[in-house]
Amino acid sequence: MTCPEPRTFLLGILAVSVAFWPATRTGAASAPGLERLLVEAEGADRIPLLLQLAERSAGEPTRVLELTDEAIALLGTSRSDSLEVVARGLRSDAFMNRSESEDAFAEARRAETIARDSGRDDLLGEALFRVAFVQWRTGEHSEALATAETSRRLQEPAGPSRGLFRTLSLLGAIHWSRSALDRALEFDLAAREMVEGLGDEQAVARCDNNIGLIYWDLGRNEEAFRYLSRALEVCERSEDRLNLKNILNNVGLVLIELDRPGEGASYLDRAYRHCVETDDLYGQGKALSNLGFAQEKLGDSAQALELHERALAVRRQIDDKEGIVRSSDALAEVHLARGDAAAALALLEPALVLATAIEARRDQADLLDTLAEARAATGNAVGALEAYRQARAIEEDLDSDATRQRIADLEKQLRAADQAREVAAL
């Protein structure tokens, strides 16, 4: 059996917010201020301004690509490895925000080549972060984990930085996708501690979002809602539009779990509109899927079926492997509820193969549970029992005593950090 799906971790990139600038970066100039400076600048002086403006336009991927096109053209005659790595990273992010993963991967690899040739570990660490992010989003979890760990090792000697924060958050997301919740929480706590020290409120909010999703996965929805609401408040106050659609989606799904589907649907509608406005197909697939769950809770199976079908179509269009797995399971459950076990089986069996390939173990267990129901509905009692046993074996492995103890220990650290934050706010 499947559940509403968050899988929308914020790394400062899913909502990618790049910040690895040279020391001469122009403060915190606003986008209009940068536009005015750009009018006066000529030649190589335009490059850092173009890139800073591209960073502030992260929610508009087409605009980012236009700005970085000019920057890269200027870099052809005014070479700077660090600025070109920035430009390629921004382009990789923009392509991922448009769900164009091949182009995103190509830009990340170009950044990696430039960084390796420069001999600078800091640049290579940043470039490898981009490679790992694309690998994670395309379901290559083992490869993403290895690449992200290399990125972390390269960046750690220089001490806390926003680049290292993003890498720690990405490691949390990868472990989360692999259903290792204890490791995910470990990295999310490390990331939050780092950005609290840097005084970055928006980055702290992204960490709160991620921690909220871990509580969701643990079935502790009140705690999930508390962290997600805190993240949403910061996001709306700071007008962080790129992260807003992701957090709205997550708040909506937790409200569904709290038996408040009508209220949850209003958040999901907002998330979906933001995703449509920014051509974010990845986000659209998530919002449509969770809107389908809301309609299930509201008792409208026909509307739920339509929404899950739309979500699956979008996810197939962009080859979102994790999304395909989850939408297939969700759609199969609706078919089962409507008495069409054959349609459910046609979705479940290929989805189970895909979930196994991308090492999405909790999704495997969910699919096996639904498969057991579908087989039982078609009279295949032996096959149903086998699927049920396989699901239980996976869950027992994921929820071992050691894992539960590790999570409990990490929660103590989390509570202590929350208390310190509350005291500091007095």
CB–CB of 223/182 below 8 Å? no
Give dist(CA 18, CA 51) in Å, integer: 10
Whole-angstrom distance, CA of residue 371 vs CA of residue 349: 8
Strand partners, 13: 16
Estimate the share of the chain in helix, then strand, then coil, as percent rounded to the nearest 5. 80, 0, 20
3-state secondary structure of 16: strand
**117-168 per-position pLDDT tens digit:** 999 999 999 999 999 999 999 999 999 999 999 999 999 999 999 899 999 9
Judged on CB neighbours under 10 Å (0-12, 13-18, 19+), 249 is: buried
From first CA to last CA, the distance across the chain in angstroms is: 45
Q: Burial-class residue 304 by CB neighbours within 10 Å (0-12, 13-18, 19+).
A: buried
CA distances from 373 to 1, 260, 281, 312, 393 (A): 9, 27, 31, 21, 17
Indicate the burial class of 309 (C-beta count within 10 angstroms; 0-12, 13-18, 19 or more): middle
Look up the CATH architecture of domain 37-139: Alpha Horseshoe (1.25)
CB of 126 within 8 A of CB of 115?
yes
Contact 329, 360 (CB under 8 A): no
Spans of the chain, pLDDT less than 70: 1-29
In terms of C-beta density within 10 A (0-12 exposed, 13-18 middle, 19 or more buried), how is residue 38 classed? Answer: middle
Predicted pLDDT at 400:
86
Q: How far apart are CA 178 and CA 176, in angstroms?
A: 5
Give the model's pLDDT for residue 420: 84
* Model pLDDT, residue 318: 94
Q: How far apart are CA 203 and CA 254, in angstroms?
A: 21
Contacts of 150 (CB under 8 A, 6+ apart): 125, 128
Task: Give the residue extent of every domain in the chain.
Answer: 37-139
Burial 126-154 (b: 16+ CB within 10 A, else e): bbbbbbbbbbbbbbbbebbbebbebbbeb
pLDDT at position 5, please?
53
SS3 of 44, please? Answer: helix
Give the phi and the psi of residue 374 in degrees, each rounded to 5.
-65, -40
